[in-house]
């Protein structure tokens, strides 16, 4: 299993150091010296490394700065801009906080409303700046995005394989025709 742990940002200085948009609650673990991260290049990128090896990290004004063995200078660092970093993780690893979940734990869960009616299934997650979004595939084959916040997703029950969504008209269920 893999999880997204960050995205390479702009170069910092001339020695190959880059900013990292952190996408993990455990940066000290995921970006430890020697960690090897799979590199997913954005479309159209000329970046040619399948993985990056962390040689050093430090925090600077609230931003994680990282040095990777494969990025020797600013020019190399510039080619890595936008690369998404993935870390391998043991299949049985779970987040420390019981209110947090890995994507693979949520994808495939049945989605029900507060009354127990099945609305669909979680088919993906979208990680946004403000909050994450559950992508719910409805029985009609439509994908609906549900903000993954406690007010709209009050219950996640991994053991029973379901999430409860406080559905609002138009959120997952279509609005009634007004014709």
Residue 176: the pLDDT is: 66
Residue 136: the pLDDT is: 94
- Identify the CA nearest to 67 among candidates 80, 54, 49: 54
Question: Taking a C-beta distance cutoff of 8 angstroms, is the pair 6, 83 a contact?
Answer: no
Q: Tell the CATH superfamily of the 2-88 domain.
A: RimM (2.40.30.60)
Domain spans of the chain, in order of start: 2-88, 103-165
Residue 90: the pLDDT is: 66
Residue 95: the pLDDT is: 74
Which residue matches tokens 């127990």?
A: 116
Per-block average pLDDT, block size 10, for the chain (179 residues)? 89 96 89 95 89 97 96 96 88 74 89 93 84 90 91 93 87 65
In whole angstroms, how far apart are CA 103 and each of 24, 98, 151, 169?
A: 12, 14, 19, 26
- Identify the CA nearest to 80 among candidates 89, 69, 91, 90: 69
Q: For domain 103-165, which CATH number applies: 2.60.40.1110, 2.40.50.140, 2.30.30.240, 3.30.360.10?
A: 2.30.30.240
């Amino acid at each position: 299993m893999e999880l997204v742990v960050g995205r390479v940002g702009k170069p910092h200085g001339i020695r190959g150091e880059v900013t990292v948009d952190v996408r993990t609650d455990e940066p000290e673990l995921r970006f430890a010296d020697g960690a090897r991260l799979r590199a997913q290049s954005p479309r159209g990128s000329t970046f040619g490394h399948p993985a990056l090896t962390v040689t050093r990290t430090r925090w600077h004004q609230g931003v994680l700065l990282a040095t990777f063995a494969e990025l020797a200078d600013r020019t190399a660092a510039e080619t890595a801009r936008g690369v998404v970093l993935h870390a391998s993780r043991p299949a049985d690893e779970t987040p420390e906080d019981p209110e947090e979940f890995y994507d693979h734990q949520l994808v495939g869960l049945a989605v029900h409303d507060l009354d127990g009616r099945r609305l669909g299934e979680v088919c993906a997650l979208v990680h946004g700046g403000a909050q994450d979004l559950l992508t719910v595939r409805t029985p009609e084959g439509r994908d609906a995005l549900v903000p993954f916040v406690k007010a709209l997703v009050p219950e996640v029950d991994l053991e029973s394989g379901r999430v409860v969504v406080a559905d609002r008209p138009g959120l997952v269920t279509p609005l009634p025709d007004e014709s």
